[in-house]
Amino acid sequence: MTLILPTISFLILMPTIDAKLAQTITLNNGYKMPIIGLGTFESDPGDNERAVGDAIAIGYRHIDTAYFYKNEKEVGNAVRTKIAEGLIKREDIFVTTKLWSTFHEPGYVEKAFKRSFDNLNLTYIDLYLIHYPVPFQRLLKNDSFSVNDVSSFQLSPVDENGNTLTADVDYLIVWHAMEKLVESGQVRSIGLSNFNSEQTERVLSNSKIKPVTNQVECHPNLNQRKLIEFSTARNVTITAYSPLGRPSSSNGKKLAIFDPKVLELAKKYNKTPAQIILRYTIQNGAIVIPKSTNKNRMKENFNIFDFELSNSDMQFMHQLNNNYRLFEYSSEKNHKYYPFNIEF
């Protein structure tokens, strides 16, 4: 794929088209990452394995999961099935998972990774992310559980008022433990998720291995243009989660996907509003990981490489940004590593 620098100074991802396979971008460590993937957050556990298999058959070569999603085993099962069927080889598929905030203490980073590694059972993991810069307290589910088993701990520890119980672990310490995982050969790339620009810069300035991506909420209502520009200048990609704005569970009046002008653009390009949104986000400079378990919708989301939004239409889409954030993690706002107290 070629990268074109437009007049607005943002890198646009513009792949050469092969509709049968997802296109890729080369990361700062030389590995290639498909610029569209399948998100699996809140996928029905009973349907997730089938959905991942369907996605691979459609042409997806990038699957995003996390220990917190509780579906790593299903993702691994689906990938291994498609390998056994001869549809793909292990090196054809890019699998991302994430370190949850309960396991930021260095001794638990390796334990948590090992659990995800075993859950996926795929020889190696392509990308491992720090899921969130704020650390959580490690509380056992009950007294019968073992402190040596990561599954023994609550994933969302809260106090009597429902506020998250946070801890005090520097994310730089976490990052250095992540670097050791790369040295083990069990993970190829490491990166960040939900980090702001200052936190990203601090990691970049204190690392042996640079993060390859920062996965953040990104859609036309929160287009992250400043963070994309900042990251691109440092050769760090941005991966957009919830790139459609979660239309099934959000305030539809606020979402770009329901904007009348976006509906007009869909008619103009003979595409759906979702395809317009995803195409916009890719041209805005981000990798997209839309979540779906519906086979037809997965096909629709994937079919975005046979058209390009014009400069004027991109300018309109930029104007839809209203900094509407779906995920605020508000109970952690007072933590020193809360990432959303600055502009980007």
Strands 24-26 and 237-241: unpaired
Residues in the chain: 344
71-109 in b/e form (b: 16+ CB < 10 A) is bbbbbbbbbeebbeeeeeeeeebbbbbbbbbbbbbeebb
With beta carbons less than 8 A apart as the criterion, state whether 282 and 37 touch. no
3 state SS of 149: coil
User: How far is it, in rounded angstroms, from Cα 293 to Cα 101?
Assistant: 26
Q: Which alpha helices (DSSP H) does the chain contain, by range?
A: 45-58, 72-84, 106-120, 171-184, 197-205, 225-233, 260-269, 273-283, 295-302, 311-318
3 state SS of 36: strand
> Which of 60, 69, 108, 241 is the catalytic position?
69
**In this structure, how many other beta carbons lie within 10 angstroms of the beta carbon of residue 238?**
22
Q: Is position 280 annotated as part of the catalytic site?
A: no
Residues that are catalytic: 69
